[in-house]
Every structure is written in C-alpha cells, then in structure tokens.
C-alpha cells in the first residue's frame, strides 16, 4: 500500500502517488480513512454473521455454540467504534475530519441531486454527492443506535425490563435497515471501478473526478494552476 499512498493530503492537490506511466492521480482517501473504512467493514461482517446466528432460529440450531457467538458479537460491536475514534484522535485523522465536514454540509446542489437521483445535467457535485452524504449520515446514526441498544441488551440487569424489550425492537429494525443500505452501498461500489479503487488504493484518475465530482476536481486543479 505504501508505494502508491501519497501523503495524507485532504485538500491537497493532485498527484502525490507519482506518475507511473500515464496520467495524474488524485488522492481521494488517505491511508487513515481507508483503514477506518476496511476495519469497520470487517467488523460489520462479523457482526452481521454472528447476529444472524443468534437471531435466526434455524441458523442458531446449525451453529450451536451460543455463548461464544454472543461474546464475539458483543465485543465486535464495542470494537466497531474504535477505528473511527482512533483515526479522529490524532494528526493522521486530518483527511478524515475534513471529509466528515464535507459529508455534513448540504447545499442546493445536493437537493438537486436528490430530486434527480444524480441525473440532473446541471449538477456540479463536490467531493461527495447527496447519496453518499445521506449514506454516511445514516450509517453513522445507525451505528450509534446499534451500540446504545446493544449495550442495553447485553447488560440489561440495571435497566427496566421494558427498556430491554424496546432496545431489542430497535436493534432488530435498525439492523434490517442497515443490511439494506449497506447492500446498496456494496452494489454501487462494485459497479464503479473508479470509486472502488479510491477506497482500495486511495486515488482516482482525473477523468473519474471530472465526471463524478466536478466541483472537487475544480478545487484540486485550481490549487494546481494557482
């Protein structure tokens, strides 16, 4: 990874990765962001698998070992917040913090994007489109909900019984919603080699940036030209 990973330059311009053969490389996600993404994804898969074993009757019969599965599920759930917190804690999180700020802010362009589902020709999308922003916000909110309800379910003794029932209910609903949105996220990613490479290796080609994130592309090349 190191060879093609340019320095973590969020707002930074093109090309840290060096021109190997053809063309410029634009840094889209730095190493810290990619580590957070893939560690979280791996933990999510563990949670999905162990959660299904605990919750789906027929699967739970197949697997047995409930105690072990339950412990893996609980500790993987607690660990899920760790990559993000560690990345946010230090200097290495600069790119991540900047991207979170971008994901947070919505403007008229995002509303147009939502209305046309990205097809409006007048769109001048920034680094992230409204769908990506929505996905990020939903996933973040859902993670908080899953963590809070999961804690009540795992350590229920001090809480009223009705909280445990409510937490179970919310945990179930949110898990179902997350399964749907993350499946969608994966399907979109598999359909876009450029986006996939951005999260695997960190960079995109200028043509991809011009098509998918023209305002971001303009920001980067402005810097370059100026």
Partner 1 sequence: MEPSAAEPSAAEPSHAEPSDAEPSHAEPSDAEPSAAEPRAAAGTPIGRRVVLGMAGAGLAGILWGSRAQRVIGSALSPLSAVDGLGALGFLPAANRFRIYSVVGFLPSVRPVDYRLRLDGLVRQPSELSLADLEAMPAVTVRRDFQCVTGWRVPGVAWKGVLLRQVLERAGVGPGARAVSFGSFDGTYTESLTLDQAYRDDVVVAYQMQGRPLGTEHGGPVRLYVAPMYGYKSCKWLSRIRLVERVEPGYWEQQGYEVDGWVGRSNGRHDTAT
Two tokens at 105?
């802010």
Q: Dihedral angle at the C-alpha atoms of 67, 68, 69, 72, nearest 10 degrees?
A: 120
Q: Are 92 and 8 in contact (CB under 8 A)?
A: yes
C-beta of 131: minimal distance to partner 1 in Å?
Answer: 13
Residue (104 or 183) nearer to partner 1, CB: 104
Close Cβ partners of 59 (under 8 Å, ≥ 6 residues apart): 52, 53
Residue 52 or 200 with smaller CB distance to partner 1: 52
Decide whether 148 or 196 has the Cβ nearer to partner 1.
Answer: 148
Q: Give the shortest CB-105-to-partner 1 separation in angstroms.
A: 4
Residue 144 — φ and ψ, nearest 5°?
Answer: -65, -45
Min separation Cβ 44 and partner 1, Å: 17
**Axis crossing angle, helix 66-79 with helix 130-154, rounded to the nearest 10:** 130
Residues at the interface with partner 1 (CB under 8 A) = 7-13, 54, 56-58, 60-61, 64-68, 91, 94-95, 97-98, 100-107, 110, 133-134, 136-138, 140-142, 144-145, 148-149, 152, 156, 161-170, 172-176, 219, 223, 226
CB of 165 to partner 1, least distance (A): 3
CA 155, CA 148: separation in Å to the nearest integer? 11
Rounded-to-integer distance, Cα 106 and Cα 133, Å: 8
Residue whose tokens read 């105690």: 67
- Quote the least distance from Cβ 113 to partner 1, whole Å: 12
Nearer to partner 1, 96 or 195 (CB): 96
Q: Which is nearer to partner 1, 20 or 67 (CB)?
A: 67
């Amino acid at each position: 990874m190191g060879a093609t990973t340019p320095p973590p330059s969020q707002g930074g311009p093109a090309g840290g990765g060096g021109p190997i053969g053809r063309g410029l490389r634009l840094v889209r996600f730095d190493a810290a962001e990619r580590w957070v993404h893939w560690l979280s994804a791996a933990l999510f898969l563990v949670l999905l698998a162990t959660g299904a074993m605990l919750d789906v009757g027929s699967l739970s019969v197949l697997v047995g070992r409930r105690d072990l599965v339950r412990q893996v599920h609980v500790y993987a759930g607690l660990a899920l917040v760790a990559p993000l917190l560690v990345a946010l804690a230090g200097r290495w999180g600069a790119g991540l913090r900047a991207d979170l700020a971008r994901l947070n802010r919505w403007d008229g362009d995002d509303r147009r994007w939502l209305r046309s589902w990205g097809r409006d020709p007048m769109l001048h999308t920034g680094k992230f489109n409204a769908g990506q922003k929505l996905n990020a916000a939903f996933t973040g909110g859902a993670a908080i909900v899953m963590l809070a309800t999961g804690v009540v379910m795992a350590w229920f003794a001090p809480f009223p019984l009705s909280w445990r029932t409510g937490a179970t209910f919310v945990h179930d609903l949110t898990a179902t919603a997350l399964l749907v949105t993350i499946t969608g996220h994966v399907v979109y990613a598999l359909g876009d080699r450029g986006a996939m490479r951005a999260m695997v290796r960190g960079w995109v080609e200028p043509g991809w940036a011009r098509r998918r994130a023209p305002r971001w592309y303009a920001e980067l090349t402005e810097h370059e030209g100026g």
